[in-house]
Amino acid sequence: MSNTKNGKPPAAPAPPLPPAPLPRNAEPEAPPRTIPATSHFNLSARLGTVGAHMSRTVVVIPPETPLIEACRLMAERRIGCVVVASGGNPLGIVSERDVVRRFARRQSLSVPVSQVMNRPLLTTVPGEPVLDALERMRDNHIRRLVVIDERGGLSGIITQTDILEASSRRLVDLADRHVKMAEAAKRDELTGLFNRRAFNNFFQIELGRTRRYGGLMAMVMFDLDHFKKVNDQYGHDAGDHVLREFCRMLQANCREVDIAARYGGEEFLVLMPAVGTRAAALFAERIRRELASAQMEHGAHRFRLTVSAGVCKWSKAADSLTAMHKLADQALYKAKNSGRNRVCVAEEESARPAKPLRVAKPLPRQHPPRRRGAEQNEAQPQRAPGTSTASEPRGKSRGTRRQTFRPRQ
């Protein structure tokens, strides 16, 4: 059986009509706003649920209470709303906005609150996320939600102010945690000194300051002598105790501007701004004597330990961390090879190779300048007295004698 009627194919469906154009002054409807939740900063998970931030002290009044009595309660308690409930179940809410609106219209305030309260009542549950409750407030243009339990009974109330305070507390906590984590990332966990990365950053800052304004800067490298024997003989706990005690000595003798860091296992660096090799060597010697005279105690073990140190200073030849570290390391190895338990200072190197001195050639002897009259006398040829020269101009006196002119009478 054919689907055609009167031998003609069926007509095609009409295309959909285009949307009606908006008026000239009309604005397109904005899409609904949503609060983005990123994976690295999920506010919904960080703020928690409504039950963690809601207020459980709620002022409840029966429906037959006069509106003027509700106003008095809000003024005494300094709150913005009261909940109207019957038998423990919330029926509505009366806020200061409702009172102001009724007062502006010059309506009576003696009516019961059942005639003024907002209905239907928007509620939430303690397990709802805080951001979801905030989005419902924004969509319905309200500032508070009544919290009910599973049976529909009143549990509390949450406002935008509660959510704002919770967000502020959370941001402050996150800022404090960020500061603590940033400080912990710069410190050595065992000793509390700066670690290698932090020392490198501080060195670049001090190096730039020294280059800009000039001055002195020294570096001291310490290395504990025979530290491996302490770990092998008394255990790693004793070795950790030695490291902590040595770092305590460093911190007690360093200035506020000095930067002490644990650069390796038992290797320590101290950067000393505005100090030369002499003062840095005295500082290292003071540390060496204090450690050599101290007796380490760990449990039942008592032993002594020494330290070697190498000192270098900033110069044009050592104008980087690598160069200064190399000089301090060479001085430290010199102290180790010389018997340990001593301080050695790195030898200074010139920034450029010395050029051979050039002997200056003697300048040619210069005679003093002659007077003009003498030059003219030497230039004129000698002639016998009483003779004249043909090339001599007439009217001029011979020789260098000046001609005098007399004015006419």
The whole-model pTM stands at 0.58
**CA–CA gap between residue 260 and residue 271 (Å, rounded):** 7
What is the reported pLDDT for 119?
81
Beta bridge mates, 217? 273
Domain that holds residue 67: 43-164
351 touches 315 (CB < 8 A): yes
What is the reported pLDDT for 246?
95
CATH code where residue 73 lies: 3.10.580.10
Q: Are residues 191 and 160 in the same domain?
A: no
Tell whether 176 is covered by a domain.
no
If one counts the domains in the chain, the total is 2
Q: Are residues 211 and 338 in the same domain?
A: yes
Contacts of residue 222, Cβ cutoff 8 Å, sequence gap at least 6: 246, 250, 267, 268, 269, 270, 284, 287, 307, 308, 309
Tell whether 386 is covered by a domain.
no
Q: Would you please indicate which residues are annotated as catalytic (active-site) residues?
A: 266
Q: Are residues 197 and 332 in the same domain?
A: yes
What is the reported pLDDT for 11?
58
| Token pair for 118 | 């907002």
- Residue-level pLDDT, tens digit, the chain, 409 residues: 445 445 555 555 555 555 555 444 444 555 555 544 444 345 566 778 888 888 888 999 999 999 999 999 999 999 889 999 988 889 999 988 888 988 898 888 889 999 989 888 889 999 998 888 889 899 988 889 999 998 889 999 999 888 888 888 888 888 999 999 999 999 999 999 999 999 999 999 999 999 999 899 999 999 999 999 999 999 999 999 999 999 999 999 999 999 999 998 899 999 999 999 999 999 999 999 999 999 999 888 899 999 999 999 999 989 999 999 999 999 999 999 999 999 999 986 544 444 555 655 666 666 666 666 555 555 555 555 555 555 555 554 455 555 555 656 5
Q: Are residues 139 and 223 in the same domain?
A: no
CATH code where residue 209 lies: 3.30.70.270
**CA–CA gap between residue 190 and residue 243 (Å, rounded):** 8
Q: Are residues 156 and 194 in the same domain?
A: no
What is the reported pLDDT for 347?
83
What is the reported pLDDT for 40?
38
